[in-house]
Chains A and B, each alone.
Chain A
C-alpha cells in the first residue's frame, strides 16, 4: 500500500533523511519513533508530498508519489499536522466540513459524515463552538475529526479503494481518556483497511496499537520491527539514550516500558 524505497531528503545542504526504507501493508499501523530531530516529521512530510524526496522514492499503491495528482490522492489520503494555526472563527463543524473539500458527495451526505466524525472523536458538543476559542486538546480533536471526515468512506470500510492516514503526534495535546480514544479509533480504522502511519513519543501508547515500529535517529532508520522485537532495553538505550526496563502488561500481555 505504502512504501518508501531508500528515501533521502536534503534541504539547504542539511541532510534530514538518509536511506529510509519502510513498507506499510494495507491496514497496518506504523509508529515512527525517536528522539527530537530524528527526522520523523520529515519522513511523514515526504510521504505526504510536502517535500520531494532527494533520493529514492515513495510508492503509493505501487505508483510513484510524484505520479499521483494531488487532487486524486486527497480523496484517500489524509494528513493531520502537529499543530494548527487557524485564526478565523469557523465553528468546529465548519472546520470538519473542510475535510470534505476533495469530494463531491453533496451537502446531505457531508452533513451526516461531519456529525459522525465529530461524534467519533467525542466532540459533538463542540459542533457550534468557535474553533479559535477551543482548548489545545479540543482543537486537535476537531482537526482529527476533519481528517477522518476526509477519508470517511475508508474509515467506515465502505470504499472500494484503501485509505491512508498520516498522523503527526496526534495524542500530544490529549488527556488520558482521549489518548485511549485515539488508539481505539486507529485500531478500528486499520481493521477496516486504512493504512496508518503516525509519529509518536509515548512508547507505551504506541505499543498498544502499532503493528510495526520504526526507530529513527539522526535521519537514519535504526530499527524496524514488531513491538516485541523493538521494545528491548538495549534498543531503547541506543536510540533514546535512556536506561529503561521492559515488563509485560499484567492483563494485556503487551510490552511496557518503565523508566
Chain B
C-alpha cells in the first residue's frame, strides 16, 4: 500500500484560498442587509473617503460607516477569536472534540448575562463601558469566574490535570445551566426573550468601540499565541513526552488557559454565545491540512472569520427585514459541511 499524502490540501494552498475568500465575503457582508447596496457604490464609498457624497449615496455611506463596516469587522474578529481559541483548547486537551464550552466559559457567561437581564432592571442598567453594555460586562465576568473556578479545581500540588479540568468543566457547565434556567424561570416574558436571544448569539450591537476592544484582544493573542505553536505540537504527544522535549508543561498549560479563556470571554461578551465556530472550524482545518499548530492556528482564525461574516450576512437576509440570531446560522451552515467532510474522510481511510 502506497499513499503519498494523507492530507487533502497543503497549508499554503489553504491559506491562498482563504485569503481570496476573506475580502470577497467581507464585501458581500457590506452589500447585504435590509437595504441592498451594490458593489459599485461600496467601492466608491470606501475609496472616495469624505468627498463627493451626494443624495442617496450619502445615506448609503452612513449605513456602511455606522452599521455595516463595524459589524463586518466585529464578525471577522469574533470568528477569528472563537476558532483560534477552539484550536488552542483542542491542542491543550489533546482532544479534537474539545470546545470553548468545555471550560465552562459559555455557561458562565450565560449566568452572568442572564443575571444582569433579570436583576439589572431593578438597578440602573444604563451604564456603558468600553462599548460594552451591562449585559456584556455580566457575560464577561461570568465567563472569567467560571474558568477561574474550573482551573482552580483542576490544579493541585501535582500541577493542572486537564482530565479533571474537562470533568470540572462539565460539572460547572451543568451547575451554571441550572442557574440560568432558574433565572429564566424567574424572568418575565420580555426578559425571557432577551435571555434566549442572547444565548443564540448576536452581532447587532456592533459599534466601533466593540471593534476596538475585540481588535485589541485579537492583536494581543496574535502576538502571544504563535510563540506557543511548537510547544503545542509537542503537547499532542502527551504531557510527559512534552516535558522530555524540554517544555515547561505547567507554565504552558497556564498560559494557554489564560489566552483561550480571555479570547472566548471577550467574544462572548461582545457577541453572545455563538456555537459551532470554536469546535468545527479547527476540526475542519485539521482535516484539510493536518494537525500542525503552526498552520492550524492562523488558518483556523482566517476560516472562523470568513464563516462568521458569511453567516452574519445570511442572518440578515433570510427573514428580512427581521434578523435571525447568527448562532443559529453558524450551526445551520457549518454542521452539514462538517458532516460532508467527515464522510469524505471516512471514504479515504
B-binding residues in A (CB < 8 A): 48-50, 70-75, 77-79, 81, 84-91, 94-95, 98-99, 101-102, 128-130, 133, 150
- Complex Cα distance, B98 from A88, in Å, reads 13
Min CB gap A25→B, angstroms = 22
A50-B240, A88-B291, A101-B245 are known; give 6 further A-B pairs, CB within 8 A.
A71-B248, A86-B236, A90-B291, A101-B234, A102-B246, A128-B6
- Complex Cα distance, B233 from A50, in Å, reads 20
| Sample of 7 A–B contacts (CB below 8 Å) | A71-B247, A74-B245, A74-B246, A86-B237, A88-B286, A89-B290, A129-B3
Residues of A within 8 A of B291 (CB): 88-90
Tell me if B94 and A87 are in contact (CB < 8 A). Answer: yes
Tell me if A70 and B236 are in contact (CB < 8 A). Answer: no
Known interface pairs A101-B234, A128-B6; A90-B292 also in contact (CB < 8 Å):
yes
Contact of A74 among B230, B244, B349 (CB under 8 A): B244
Tell me if A88 and B236 are in contact (CB < 8 A). Answer: yes
Residues of A within 8 A of B6 (CB): 89, 91, 128-130, 133
Contact of B290 among A79, A94, A102 (CB under 8 A): A94
Tell me if B349 and A78 are in contact (CB < 8 A). Answer: no
Tell me if B248 and A98 are in contact (CB < 8 A). Answer: no
Contact of A81 among B236, B238, B292 (CB under 8 A): B238
Tell me if B286 and A89 are in contact (CB < 8 A). Answer: yes
Q: Mark B271-303, 1 if CB is under 8 A from A, else 0.
A: 000000000000000100011100000000000
Residue B243 at the A interface, CB < 8 A? yes
Min CB gap A198→B, angstroms = 15
- Complex Cα distance, B290 from A89, in Å, reads 6
Those of B182-228 within 8 Å (CB) of chain A:
none
Instruction: Say what secondary structure dominates the interface of chain B.
Output: loop
Tell me if B248 and A70 are in contact (CB < 8 A). Answer: yes
Known interface pairs A89-B6, A90-B236, A128-B3; A98-B290 also in contact (CB < 8 Å):
no
- Complex Cα distance, B291 from A88, in Å, reads 6
Residues of A within 8 A of B286 (CB): 88-89
Known interface pairs A128-B6, A133-B349; A87-B246 also in contact (CB < 8 Å):
no
Most buried by A among B3, B94, B233, B248: B233
Min CB gap A140→B, angstroms = 13
Tell me if B4 and A128 are in contact (CB < 8 A). Answer: yes
Min CB gap B158→A, angstroms = 10
Residue B241 at the A interface, CB < 8 A? yes
Tell me if B233 and A98 are in contact (CB < 8 A). Answer: yes
Residues of A within 8 A of B247 (CB): 70-71, 74, 101
Tell me if B237 and A98 are in contact (CB < 8 A). Answer: yes
Residue B5 at the A interface, CB < 8 A? yes
Most buried by A among B3, B5, B95, B243: B243
Known interface pairs A86-B238, A91-B290; A75-B246 also in contact (CB < 8 Å):
yes
Tell me if A99 and B245 are in contact (CB < 8 A). Answer: yes
Tell me if B96 and A87 are in contact (CB < 8 A). Answer: yes
Tell me if B4 and A79 are in contact (CB < 8 A). Answer: no
Min CB gap B191→A, angstroms = 43
Residues of B within 8 A of A99 (CB): 245
Min CB gap A67→B, angstroms = 16
Q: What are the 7 tightest A-B residue pairs by CB atom distance, in nearest-first order?
A: A74-B246, A88-B291, A102-B246, A71-B246, A79-B244, A130-B6, A101-B245
- Complex Cα distance, B312 from A103, in Å, reads 45
Min CB gap B161→A, angstroms = 15
Those of B228-267 within 8 Å (CB) of chain A:
230-231, 233-234, 236-238, 240-241, 243-248
Contact of B246 among A48, A73, A81, A89 (CB under 8 A): A73
- Complex Cα distance, B245 from A73, in Å, reads 9
Q: Closest A-chain residue to B2, C-beta based?
A: A125
Tell me if A94 and B238 are in contact (CB < 8 A). Answer: no
Q: Closest B-chain residue to A147, C-beta based?
A: B244
Min CB gap A199→B, angstroms = 15
Known interface pairs A84-B238, A128-B4, A129-B6; A94-B292 also in contact (CB < 8 Å):
yes
Tell me if B230 and A101 are in contact (CB < 8 A). Answer: yes
- Complex Cα distance, B290 from A232, in Å, reads 52
Residues of B within 8 A of A89 (CB): 6, 286, 290-291
Q: Closest B-chain residue to A48, C-beta based?
A: B244
Residues of B within 8 A of A78 (CB): 244
- Complex Cα distance, B149 from A244, in Å, reads 58
Q: Closest A-chain residue to B249, C-beta based?
A: A70
Residues of A within 8 A of B95 (CB): 87
Min CB gap A137→B, angstroms = 16
Residues of A within 8 A of B4 (CB): 128
Residues of B within 8 A of A101 (CB): 230-231, 233-234, 245-247
Residues of B within 8 A of A75 (CB): 246
Residues of B within 8 A of A49 (CB): 243
Residues of B within 8 A of A73 (CB): 246
- Complex Cα distance, B205 from A239, in Å, reads 73
Min CB gap A26→B, angstroms = 20
Residues of B within 8 A of A91 (CB): 6, 290
Min CB gap A215→B, angstroms = 26
Contact of A84 among B5, B96, B241, B243 (CB under 8 A): B241
Residues of A within 8 A of B241 (CB): 79, 81, 84
Min CB gap A135→B, angstroms = 12
- Complex Cα distance, B96 from A130, in Å, reads 16
- Complex Cα distance, B118 from A121, in Å, reads 65
- Complex Cα distance, B86 from A41, in Å, reads 35
Residues of B within 8 A of A77 (CB): 244
